[in-house]
A and B are shown apart, each in its own frame.
Chain A
Amino acid sequence: MEIARKVDPVINSTTTVKKGLKLKKILTNYQLYLFLLPALIYFIVFHYVPMYGVLIAFKDFVATKGIMGSPWVGFKHFERFFDSYQFWSLIKNTLGLSVTQLVVGFPLPIFLALMLNQMRSEKSKRFVQTVVYAPHFISVVVLAGMIYVFFSNNGLINNMILMFGGDPISFMAKPEWFKPLYIASGVWQETGWAAIIYLAALAGVSPELHEAAVMDGANKWQRIFHVDIPAIMPTAVILLILSVGSIMNIGFEKAYLLQTPMNQPSAEIIPTYVYKMGLQQAQYSFAAAVGLFNAVINLILLVAVNKFAKRLSGTGLW
């Protein structure tokens, strides 16, 4: 809701100020424009120039000729990508990973926040919060390293499996284990942190609502369903839009670290493919085309989901 309000004025900015007044306004605030200068330069150089640079997706980029000098080739690179034998497996892996992550990872912080909100002792609640937020600060390299040592053939998990009489599994060598490991480690690392925002929303619920519900004889379950959950709905919708909108933006970093030569068939996703094609094999134009394809799909999804959510619940990003 709040995000919508922030962005709105941008679109409605049809301020009609007289020219002389405008200039005076700019001049009196010149120091503020100087404040903005580094940021403006940054966004132009590192965001808008690359947006222009994405033109190489439609060209055969040759470094010595530059972006303008390289010959146009239309949709050649896109066609090559669509026709490549990896196309469908890449789409399947990327979507499969992010959709599963969304379906599994999205509701859990809500449950956790509702549970923490019901804890009666403030002190232990604070302790639990400190603990569950902590994994968020572990770097992705260390997280991946932990997965490797825990799930190695002689690691903690296989020792547990042996203890319960099962057969050891070589997790890192099995394509079918890539997704569960990726998702589970993400849940372990981020659920607590993601619950913060819901806890904030729950803290904003007026105690009077709960008191009134208690008066009417509502038990805790009923209060969760009829007071707490409605209270966090708007937050949940916004976050859901954001996550659906970035569904193709699944992180490169962890997937790349968890890839082994053996689990490649299910672990290769579009971002890692772009990295390998573009930077390891220097096929700049082709990789830029794949990246652009990904970005466009993402943008379409975001706009569509936003529209849908707005119609459904009246809440949207813009």
Chain B
Amino acid sequence: MSLLTLKNKKITRRSKEDRVFDAINVFLVALIVILVIYPLYFIVIASFSDPNMIYEGKVWLLPKKITFEGYERIFRDSKIWLGYKNSLIYTVVGTIVNVSFTLMAAYALSRKDLYGRNVIMFLFLMTMFFSGGLIPTYLVVKNLGLLNTMWALILPKAIAVWNVIVAKTYFESSIPNELLEAAKMDGCSDAKFFWKIVLPLSKPIVAVMVLFYAVGHWNSYFDALIYLNNENLYPLQLILRNILIQNEASTMMISDLESLAAKQRVSELIKYGVIIVASVPLLIVYPFVQKYFVKGVMIGGIKG
């Protein structure tokens, strides 16, 4: 009996029923954790293991016949790096556009003295429930001449209504009206007030917005699929799709291999590897920024 259990016992005096309940609960939660983690863990060990060992079902808990061939080929491949670079550019530029548009609009809408704000908010909300659909949107992008430019991935997704609601709610609840009145007394303009006072006071919501939008850009492939057909512009996710789903381990990666069997073997290895390479940036950053994501969901969910 550890000290902790003794202490707990004293405080809550758990009944026998409750102890059974807790035991079952802990067991089930542990099971869930394993179900979530194991697939991810398996991808990691498989990316280091000889594919034949995987085929034969010998890889379960530890990598077998460790090899770095998959990673070597991935890192030598120029397409992957080009995709990485493109994705990085799209994510950075796209997120800057997203966050600035969203925060500016949300702040303006959070001001109760803005004439017509309800009408405008209604116009925005409407788009959540009804949209023209894929084809009309595609035609707009096409007519604007955005096809095969990075703007096709950025402008049509410039603002997510949901994030406007989240940011607006935050501004409404955390920027006191007195602050605005005092600043106005001193002759501060709205733009200056937003820039000098609102933004510094709203760092958490800025972080939430940056993270939500950045993850969205980094992970999306669909817009690139429909709006781009120049391979040099492909973001990482589209290149991943070709490798993982279309089975086109880019010819560069396996061109030196002679036999079909060897090609297939290595392309399996490459699949595990690219999954890791593509997900690592997010999974490394994620535990540190998790609280901001959670915060975003909560503001949106409870108050929105």
Contact = CB atoms under 8 A, between A and B. Distances in A.
Interface size class of A (residues with CB under 8 A): 35 or more
B86 to A, nearest CB: 14
A43 B123 contact: yes
Contact of B301 (A6, A51, A156, A235): A235
B77 to A, nearest CB: 16
B208 interface: no
Given A42-B155, A43-B127, A279-B138, A134 B245 contact: no
Interface string B89-127: 000000000001110110111010111101111111101
Given A135-B40, A200-B301, 14 more contacts: A10-B122, A29-B115, A46-B158, A50-B140, A56-B136, A130-B290, A131-B36, A137-B286, A138-B282, A141-B238, A159-B54, A271-B134, A274-B134, A295-B130
B108 A53 contact: no
Given A35-B108, A120-B8, A130-B287, A139 B237 contact: yes
Nearest to A196: B297
A26 B115 contact: yes
B39 A128 contact: no
Contacts of A104: none
Contact of A29 (B17, B111, B139, B215): B111
A287 interface: yes
A166 B23 CA distance: 33
Interface string A10-22: 1001000100001
Given A141-B244, A200-B298, A43 B159 contact: yes
A35 B293 contact: no
Contact of B133 (A112, A162, A288): A288
Interface size class of B (residues with CB under 8 A): 35 or more
A29 B218 CA distance: 36
The 9 lowest CB-CB distance pairs between A and B, nearest first, are A50-B132, A145-B244, A53-B136, A159-B57, A291-B133, A139-B219, A39-B105, A50-B136, A31-B190
Contact of A119 (B26, B42, B108): B26
23 contacts: A10-B122, A36-B104, A39-B124, A39-B159, A42-B159, A47-B127, A50-B133, A54-B136, A129-B290, A130-B290, A131-B36, A138-B279, A139-B219, A139-B220, A145-B245, A149-B268, A150-B42, A163-B57, A196-B297, A257-B241, A271-B134, A284-B139, A291-B133
Contacts of B219: 137-141
B183 interface: no
Contact of A299 (B32, B129, B144, B218): B129
Contacts, number: 283
A200 B302 CA distance: 8
Q: What secondary structure prevails in chain B residues at the interface with A?
A: helix
B101 A42 contact: yes
Interface in B3-61: 8, 12, 15, 17-18, 21-22, 25-26, 28-29, 32-33, 35-37, 39-40, 42-43, 46, 54-55, 57
A224 to B, nearest CB: 9
Nearest to B43: A146
A197 B297 contact: yes
Interface of A: 2-3, 6-7, 9-10, 13, 17, 22, 25-26, 29, 31-36, 38-40, 42-43, 45-54, 56, 112, 115-116, 118-120, 128-135, 137-142, 144-146, 148-150, 154, 156, 159-160, 162-163, 188, 192-193, 196-197, 200-201, 204, 214, 219-221, 235, 245, 252-253, 256-257, 271, 274-275, 278-279, 284, 287-288, 291-292, 294-295, 299, 302
Nearest to A289: B135
Contacts of A235: 301-302
Contact of A148 (B26, B226, B245): B245
Contacts of B40: 134-135
A156 B42 contact: yes
Q: What secondary structure prevails in chain A residues at the interface with B?
A: helix
A188 B35 contact: yes
Contacts of A154: 54-55
B191 interface: yes
A65 to B, nearest CB: 13
B139 A17 contact: no
A39 B161 CA distance: 10
Contacts of B74: none
B50 to A, nearest CB: 13
B39 A3 contact: no
A21 B237 CA distance: 53
Contact of B282 (A26, A130, A137, A288): A137
Contact of A53 (B37, B42, B132): B132
Nearest to B144: A45
Taking each of B107, B119, B137, B165, which has the highest tally of chain A beta carbons within 10 Å of its own beta carbon? Answer: B137
B261 interface: no
Interface string B251-275: 0000000000000000010011011
B1 to A, nearest CB: 15
